[in-house]
Structure 1
Amino acid sequence: MKSEKSYNLRALLASHFSSTGLLIQENGASRQCLLGFLDAVLRGIGQVMLQNNSYAGFLFLAGIFYNSTLFGWAALFGAAISTATAMLLDVSRARIVAGLFGFNGALVAIALVYFLEPNIFTYGYVVLAAACSSIVMAALLHLFEARKIPVLTAPFVFTTLFFIMACARFGHLHSTGNLPTAGLPKLAVIEGVVTASTLVEGLFNGIAQVFFQGNVVTGILFAIGLLISSRVACAAALIGSFTGLVVAWGMGAAEPAIRSGAFGFNSVLTAIAMMSVFFVLNASSAVYGLFAMITTAVMFAAVSAALEPLGMPALTAPFVIVVWIFVLAGPLFPRLKLR
């Protein structure tokens, strides 16, 4: 017991805080140190917006708690469960420390709590789904690495859709009513008047909706978290949200959908990916990224309509599909430089 305590003390003394979060110098100490695990969990929450930064993750978590204590705990435990699962399966330390096995679990947990009535069965379901997201993440990493295709939030999308669809056969799991009504897509009609208030709220709600949060203050906290991590990522998120909003407005989407940020959150993720992660930022990549953001807003409408007969949400599938296509196409365009 004494040697274990001294080992953990040495791990803490060997650690320090960097510009991205806690760093532990001693080899393997992060597996023994609670602070190291917490840092990995916060980085996992930060990785939802492609930020390997525990300060950003903390602000994202604070923003979620500001809007909903239930969703805040869901995000924290979902990230912790999926990270712990990866640790138990002995995933490489570098990937765990970077939070790569935490972000899908965080999103899965929030989604299931959002779409299902909270009860003991739902919470058990969340634990299972968050753990499964790490298995799906590992499978897709193994499948995609040779082709250098980013996994993104695909494990979250696949895991959440399958677990929600399975609820139709489980009598103890009940929908909250937030799922789309199953049926053939109906013709959209222009509804409401878009005002300056709509645009401002829609801008920050578009960022907040990345975590299923419809709250302007939450969106602002998310933007601050991005700013701390990367000024380029913060600017990209704001541009992405505004682009999705404008496309929806121009195409005649309903005012409540524009205000809620429904058409913005996928474009937010696409903007961050294209302008600060996968391509060197220059004039050509900026135009390419803008094109991807616009396409993502249209893709959101398409995927939503395609899944409506099943009563399933689009989640971040539009972001995943568009970024996969645009990243795979990138090497054939000489003016674009992949990172």
Structure 2
Amino acid sequence: MKLSSTGLVRDEVGADTSGPVMRALGLIDTILRGVGQVMLQNNSYAGLLFLVGVFYNSALFGIGVLVGTLASTLTARLLGADRAQIRDGLFGFNGALVAVGILYFLHPGLLTWVCVVVAAACSSVLMAAMLNLLRAWKLPVLTAPFVFTTLCVFLATARFGRLHSTELLPSAGLPQGATVEGVVTGSTLLHGLFSGVAQVFFQASPVTGLLFLAGLLVSSRLGFVAAIAGSLIGALVAWGMGAAEAAIFSGAFGFNSVLTAIALGSVFLRPNMASLAYAALATAVTPLAYAAVSALLEPVGMPAMTLPFVLVVWVFVLAIPVFPRLKAS
């Protein structure tokens, strides 16, 4: 192992990892990279700032992120997954989101924590399955394992009397026509801008959002700009379409757009004028996808989470080969 500009240490094939201190540092680096990969950043410094941001808002969620990332990472190690992918945090980030999602939508208790560990471990199995499945289409897995794993857990609560949902889990019912609620002000948009970034980890805190942005700035200036633009575009589109002021204020329409903007604006495409316009279009479409997916899942009382981001990015990535002005990274 040796020092790296992207993390605490960099584990390389053939490096001496026999010492307990080096193994511990390697595990910490891998866990932090897993946290960073929630926003597509293979950078343990970014992961550390993301973790600090979560702990700032909630110690419960911070512990959950650590437990979920550790459980999913160790599962991948135990099953012999590719060492480089584990090291880069690719088997950690879905576990982190699974943990915080379960703790957000279910009342915390011993059984809930057992579900966190088991579901985070299962997210690594699903990650491996989807890596294998989507390889033929050259599609990234993104947060799909998190979405599908947590949806299964939430749906199962209807048949298990010892798992209790919070009031934050949507109430099942047919979608109702929306009306414009509240007055959107500059304060609404500013609060929603930073909260939209924080909501990637289910945190409705502008300070947490600022810490997340600091982590992105450490890792990627382009990713930092993309996150700000994504959250702002999400809020403005939601405002223009008549979303409730409270939803814009809390960042509910921003976090999927943040992830879409980072993915297409700084990760999967080489930056040029065409790719930036393409990323902006995908980012603007994402709040519409969020509204549509939320309405689709409302009859069964399930949250959309990051499914809109996954669907939009999959469609736009699949279309890249048809457009010669776009170059995949």
Q: TM-score, normalised by structure 1?
A: 0.94
Structure 1 equivalent of residue 50 of structure 2 = 60
Structure 2 equivalent of residue 19 of structure 1 = 6
Shift of the alpha carbon at 1:147?
A: 1.8
Q: SS of 2:187's equivalent?
A: helix
Match status 1:298 vs 2:288 = yes
Q: Distance in 2 between matches of 1:20 and 1:40?
A: 9
| Contact 1:208–1:215 (Cα < 8 Å) also in 2 | yes
Deviations 1:28-79 (A, max 9, x none): 6558601101111100000000000000000000000000000000001100
Q: Distance in 2 between matches of 1:300 and 1:165?
A: 20
> Superposed, which structure 2 residues align to 1:109-124 within 5 Å?
109-124=99-114
Match status 1:46 vs 2:33 = no
Report the count of equivalent residues. Answer: 326
Q: Distance in 1 between matches of 2:238 and 2:16?
A: 49
Q: Distance in 2 between matches of 1:29 and 1:317?
A: 41
Structure 2 equivalent of residue 97 of structure 1 = 87
Match of 2:309 among 304, 319, 329: 319
One-letter amino acid of the structure 1 residue matched with residue 163 of structure 2: L
Structure 2 equivalent of residue 72 of structure 1 = 62
One-letter amino acid of the structure 2 residue matched with residue 15 of structure 1: K
Q: Distance in 1 between matches of 2:156 and 2:15?
A: 39
Deviations 1:80-129 (A, max 9, x none): 10000000001111000000000000000000000111111101011110
Q: SS of 1:169's equivalent?
A: coil
Q: SS of 2:37's equivalent?
A: helix
Deviations 1:121-152 (A, max 9, x none): 10101111000000000000011112211100
Moved over 4 A (4+): 28-32
One-letter amino acid of the structure 1 residue matched with residue 108 of structure 2: P
| Contact 1:79–1:104 (Cα < 8 Å) also in 2 | yes
Structure 1 equivalent of residue 189 of structure 2 = 199
Residue identity over aligned pairs, in percent, reads 60
Q: Which runs of 5+ in 2 are unaligned?
A: none
Q: Distance in 2 between matches of 1:281 and 1:29?
A: 38
Structure 2 equivalent of residue 263 of structure 1 = 253
Q: Distance in 2 between matches of 1:30 and 1:43?
A: 18
Match of 1:88 among 75, 78, 99: 78
Q: Distance in 2 between matches of 1:241 and 1:20?
A: 26
Q: Distance in 2 between matches of 1:16 and 1:274?
A: 29
| Contact 1:104–1:134 (Cα < 8 Å) also in 2 | yes
| Contact 1:209–1:262 (Cα < 8 Å) also in 2 | yes
Q: Distance in 1 between matches of 2:167 and 2:90?
A: 31
Q: Distance in 2 between matches of 1:28 and 1:97?
A: 13
